[in-house]
Structure 1
Amino acid sequence: MTWQEISGGWVYLPRKKILGVIHFLGGAFVATAPQLSYRSFLEQIAQEGYAIIATPFLNTFNHFAIAREALSRFETILERLHRSNSLGRSYLPIYGIGHSMGCKLHLIIGSLFEVKRTGNILISFNNYPAKKAIPFGDKIQINPAFDVEFSPSPEETNQLVAENYLVSRNLLIRFRNDTIDQTISLNPVLQERFAKTTAYKTLPGNHLTPLGQEVKWQTGDVFTPFDALGQFLKQGISNDLFPLRREVLLWLNPIAFI
């Protein structure tokens, strides 16, 4: 199976029976081509029976508009897949998976729109203000009269989630070496709303772990130092991606791991 572009989004369908549908939203500066930047991670999830619908976006200051457009595009693609019978049956559970800014967009979607979500997986949540989120933004001298901020702002986002977020089942994932992760501040907000159905996991890796690409290294007849380096790199990348993949799949389908 290969990636298909449908209605401005990217779709990857598993070869086996489809167990559910995943709406994926990536990070701010890598979300324009999720089928490339998150290829290994998403394909590994798809191989276990999940249809992937990844909706790309360009980052602007209006995160409300981005969330609205991402949801609209996802629903259009989902409808087309159902019409073509590509998903195999009429009902399938729908999950959101977000990385970094993608988490914020899923939180906005789950707070403002009546969406049917069996649950959300929020990886490396990031909710920084504009000056800190934009590269070198804290070093650029901006005229206070023209100072700008994301809409919603970090404070407005937290309040919106605390008062309106309706997706009751959530998995929050942070990585041990992630210096810009803000999951620790999101966790109590969701625990306050859905204590019994919100899980929090800390895994090895860093903020870029979900973007890791699996290295396919084929050794020759003679094992060389270059082969040793290739195997080392492959093992290191797999060591970070494997725990992430396992936790996501365990949460999606616990029965499969019994």
Structure 2
Amino acid sequence: MTNWVADWQDVTGNAVLLPANPRGIVHFLGGAFVAAAPQITYRFLLEFLARQRYVVVATPFVSSSLDHAALAQSALHSFETTLDRLLVTGRLRKRYLPVYSVGHSLGCKLHLLIGSLFSVERAGNISIAYNNYPARRSIPFLEQLSNLTELEFTPTPDQTHDLIAREYQVRRNLLVQFKNDDIDQTSVLHEILQKRFSSMVTLQTLNGTHTTPIAQDVNWQVGEAFSPLDAVGQWVKQSLYRDLNGLMLEILRWLDPTAKVRST
């Protein structure tokens, strides 16, 4: 069997992977400052999902706007436009595939807003390292600019949590937090969703940091003589991939507990 090769396509502005005989669709939104090119920053994670036969639609965005509700609406419109184009052109032949939302950090918040503000059908939502801090903590240097300290996201963090508690419609949720992540707010989200959907919410705490989802395969070239620096490089590579691999397997188990991992 030949090795699987990722064929990234740009479809109406989204980065798309189309596996043969797909069994589901993943709409992916990344974190602040790394979401502009998700096919690069989240390449390993997204290509893993495509190898498991999930269509990947990764919506790029620049998180310069304070209006997160508008960002969520734009991301939803972009996803739906791409999905329509795939169906109209015949590149996606199965019309009724389950759609899963997957977000990292700010991407979690945007998917939660989509599920609260708009009428969407989702088979489930995966929130990885959820973050909903105020603007003064989320935007570098904002606290040093005294004339801008009153700026805040729309909706505000408190308004976002109130909205989720009242309006969020996606019943099945996987929440992932990492052991070494000091900006994670998954516990707060878990409490809100537990009150709303109880047994439909799964919380997993994994090894890793806030940046684990963007870990890549470090191509460390060992010199002619194996040096202490080579040993450090190999250790870093193994540690990064081990944590990312744990995340990928947990996502796959939640999507389909009976699935076997496909490597090609």
Contact 1:129–1:149 under 8 Å retained in 2: yes
CA distance in structure 1 between the partners assigned to 2:31 and 2:194 by the alignment: 24
Q: 2:22 aligns with which of 2, 18, 22?
A: 18
CA distance in structure 2 between the partners assigned to 1:121 and 1:167 by the alignment: 10
Contact 1:18–1:88 under 8 Å retained in 2: no
Contact 2:142–2:148 under 8 Å retained in 1: no
Confirm whether residue 208 of structure 1 aligns to residue 211 of structure 2.
yes
For structure 1, which segment, 32-41 or 232-241, has the greater mean C-alpha deviation from structure 2 after superposition?
232-241
For structure 1, which segment, 80-89 or 94-103, has the greater mean C-alpha deviation from structure 2 after superposition?
80-89
Task: For residue 238 of structure 1, report the CA deviation from its aligned partner.
Answer: 1.1
What is the SS of the residue equivalent to 2:146? Answer: coil
Query: Which residue pairs with 2:50 in the alignment?
Result: 46
Contact 2:99–2:123 under 8 Å retained in 1: yes
Query: Which residue pairs with 2:38 in the alignment?
Result: 34
- Give the AA of the match of 1:172: L
Query: Which residue pairs with 2:126 in the alignment?
Result: 121
Task: Give the 5 Å matches for 1:124-143.
Answer: 124-142=129-147
Query: Which residue pairs with 1:169 in the alignment?
Result: 172
CA distance in structure 2 between the partners assigned to 1:227 and 1:28 by the alignment: 32
- Give the AA of the match of 1:251: W
Q: 1:186 aligns with which of 174, 185, 189?
A: 189
Query: Which residue pairs with 2:3 in the alignment?
Result: none
Task: Give the 5 Å matches for 1:70-89.
Answer: 70-89=75-94
Task: For residue 188 of structure 1, report the CA deviation from its aligned partner.
Answer: 0.8
Contact 2:103–2:111 under 8 Å retained in 1: yes
- Give the AA of the match of 1:53: V
Instruction: State the TM-score, normalizing by the size of structure 1.
Output: 0.93
Aligned residues: 254
CA distance in structure 2 between the partners assigned to 1:143 and 1:120 by the alignment: 34
Confirm whether residue 198 of structure 1 aligns to residue 205 of structure 2.
no
CA distance in structure 1 between the partners assigned to 2:169 and 2:108 by the alignment: 14
Task: For residue 227 of structure 1, report the CA deviation from its aligned partner.
Answer: 5.2
Task: For residue 196 of structure 1, report the CA deviation from its aligned partner.
Answer: 1.2
Instruction: State the TM-score, normalizing by the size of structure 2.
Output: 0.91
Q: Please report the RMSD computed on the Cα atoms of aligned residues, expressed in angstroms.
A: 1.8
Q: Relative to structure 1, is the Cα distance of residues 44 and 216 closer, same or farther in structure 2, using a 3 angstrom cutoff?
A: farther
CA distance in structure 1 between the partners assigned to 2:220 and 2:254 by the alignment: 30
Contact 2:178–2:210 under 8 Å retained in 1: yes
Structure 2: gaps (5+ residues):
1-5
CA distance in structure 1 between the partners assigned to 2:197 and 2:85 by the alignment: 33
Task: For residue 10 of structure 1, report the CA deviation from its aligned partner.
Answer: 0.7
- Give the AA of the match of 2:87: H
Q: Relative to structure 1, is the Cα distance of residues 244 and 143 closer, same or farther in structure 2, using a 3 angstrom cutoff?
A: closer
For structure 1, which segment, 2-11 or 133-142, has the greater mean C-alpha deviation from structure 2 after superposition?
133-142
